[in-house]
Amino acid sequence: MTTGGLRLGLLVESGAQLNQLRNLIQDSGNRVQVALLTNAFNADRPPADEQVDAWLVILEREHPLLENWLAQLDQAVIVDEGCSESDQLTAWCRRMQEKLHQLKGTVNLAKKAQGVANEVWILAASTGGPEAVRAFFSELSGGLALGFVYVQHMDPGYEQTLAQMLERHGQYPAYIARHGDILRAGSVGVIANADRIELQENGTFAANAEAWPGPYCPSIDQVLGNLACHYGQYCGAIIFTGMGDDGAAGARIVQHRGGQVWVQEPQTCTVSAMPDAALDTGVVSYQGSPAQLAQQLNRVCVNR
């Protein structure tokens, strides 16, 4: 599996379905590993399934031989009747995209996917955060072998705006961390307000049915503690401008697990309460403006 995407086996009844689904699968961040038409299926020599993570099968009618083969597969399978009505095609494609996303989550949670970051830096902010983080990424060198997680107090739905901002002002692609996504090396995962997301042992994000604990959404303390427990000395945290004390308790966990904690210099903050609270813990090893924080991270990575 590459960067969290699935290698899919595709079994369909027509060439038109095959072309339609190739584009849909590519748009969903996955790829077609094996593509077969039902009229070419040989029950005596079924396709080798060890090359794929899951199968997507579109059948408009019953195929007993195929159904027997599907029942014996070890991989996850989506079976669908497809869509023959042009006016319903858009809605069907949307449903299929959602099925593929759910399938990716199921597969990724079952094993460690390739492309999971070996080191993570958590960027935490509240009031004034987007501007500070934008300035940070504007100064950060490209190509650092790190995974970034950006956790920002925000209203629901604002995460997409943050991801677009990061894309425009930095050299690291951004994505909204969803159930089944991996913590990607060389990218920025944005933690949304609505869903409580936690990292699992295999480097995959999983949605938790419970709400974020405490008064803040998303909870910076929760994200820091969760990632520090998995990454230990390979977890760093930068507390940017913000109101309140969210992040102070999590900073202690990061430092206790062997990671580094930095803060935005209070004099450069829109609101300095969050960096001040982190400084009061005594675990902060560096402070600077957003540009200085980026330059320090550049130096740390170069000197390894």
- Give every CB contact of residue 49 below 8 A, 6+ residues apart in sequence: 9, 55, 73, 74, 75
CATH of the domain at 49: 3.40.50
Residues 172 and 97 in one domain: no
Residues 278 and 144 in one domain: yes
Residues 135 and 91 in one domain: no
Which tens digit of pLDDT belongs to each residue from 102-116?
777 667 666 556 678
Residues 173 and 253 in one domain: yes
CA dist list (Å): 126 to 30, 78, 136, 262, 269 = 34, 41, 15, 16, 11
Which tens digit of pLDDT belongs to each residue from 2-41?
445 788 888 888 888 888 888 888 887 788 888 888 777 7
- So what's the pLDDT on residue 1? 41
CATH of the domain at 278: 3.40.50.180
What does the chain look like in DSSP terms, one character per residue?
A: -BTTB-EEEEEESSHHHHHHHHHHHHHTT-EEEEEEEGGG--TTSPPP-TT-SEEEEE-SS--HHHHHHHHT-SSEEEEE-----GGGHHHHHHHHHHHHHHHHHHHHHHSPPTTB-SSEEEEEE-TTHHHHHHHHHHHSPTT-S-EEEEEE---TTTHHHHHHHHHHHSSS-EEE--TT-B-BTTSEEEEPSSSEEEE-TTSBEEEESSPPSSSSSS-HHHHHHHHHHHHGGGEEEEE-S-SS-TTHHHHHHHHHTT-EEEEE-GGG-SS-HHHHHHHHTT---EEE-HHHHHHHHHHHHHT-
Range of weakest confidence among 87-101, 143-157, 173-187? 87-101
Identity of the amino acid at 79: V
In a domain, 274, yes or no: yes
Q: What percent of the chain has pLDDT over 70?
A: 90
| Mean pLDDT, range 117-137, rounded to an integer | 96
Residues 93 and 202 in one domain: no
- So what's the pLDDT on residue 156? 83
Range of weakest confidence among 29-33, 84-88, 176-180, 294-298? 84-88
Q: Assign 79 a pLDDT band (cuts: 50, 70, 90).
A: confident
pTM of the model: 0.68
- So what's the pLDDT on residue 44? 58
| Mean pLDDT, range 72-98, rounded to an integer | 78
- So what's the pLDDT on residue 293? 98
Query: Which of 84, 110, 136 finishes a domain?
Result: 110
- So what's the pLDDT on residue 75? 76
| Mean pLDDT, range 182-186, rounded to an integer | 92
Range of weakest confidence among 44-48, 89-93, 253-257, 276-280? 44-48
User: Looking at per-residue confidence, does 224 or 26 come out higher?
Assistant: 224
Q: How far apart are CA 28 and CA 92, in angstroms?
A: 14
- So what's the pLDDT on residue 2? 41
Mean pLDDT of the chain: 86
Query: Which of 110, 144, 162 finishes a domain?
Result: 110
Q: Assign 96 a pLDDT band (cuts: 50, 70, 90).
A: confident
In a domain, 221, yes or no: yes
In a domain, 279, yes or no: yes
Residues 48 and 128 in one domain: no
Domain span at residue 157 reads: 120-302
Residues 156 and 20 in one domain: no
Query: Which of 83, 110, 137 finishes a domain?
Result: 110
Residues 146 and 234 in one domain: yes
- So what's the pLDDT on residue 110? 60
Residues 222 and 104 in one domain: no
The pLDDT of residue 180 is above 60: yes
β-bridge mates for residue 76, sequence order: 54
User: Phi and psi for 132 in degrees, rounded to 5?
Assistant: -65, -45
Total domain count, the chain: 2
Placement of tokens 């790829």 in the chain: 31
Cβ atoms of 217 and 247 within 8 Å: the answer is no
In a domain, 1, yes or no: no
User: Phi and psi for 32 in degrees, rounded to 5?
Assistant: -85, 120
Residues 189 and 281 in one domain: yes
In a domain, 166, yes or no: yes
Residues 80 and 142 in one domain: no
In a domain, 178, yes or no: yes
Residues 156 and 269 in one domain: yes
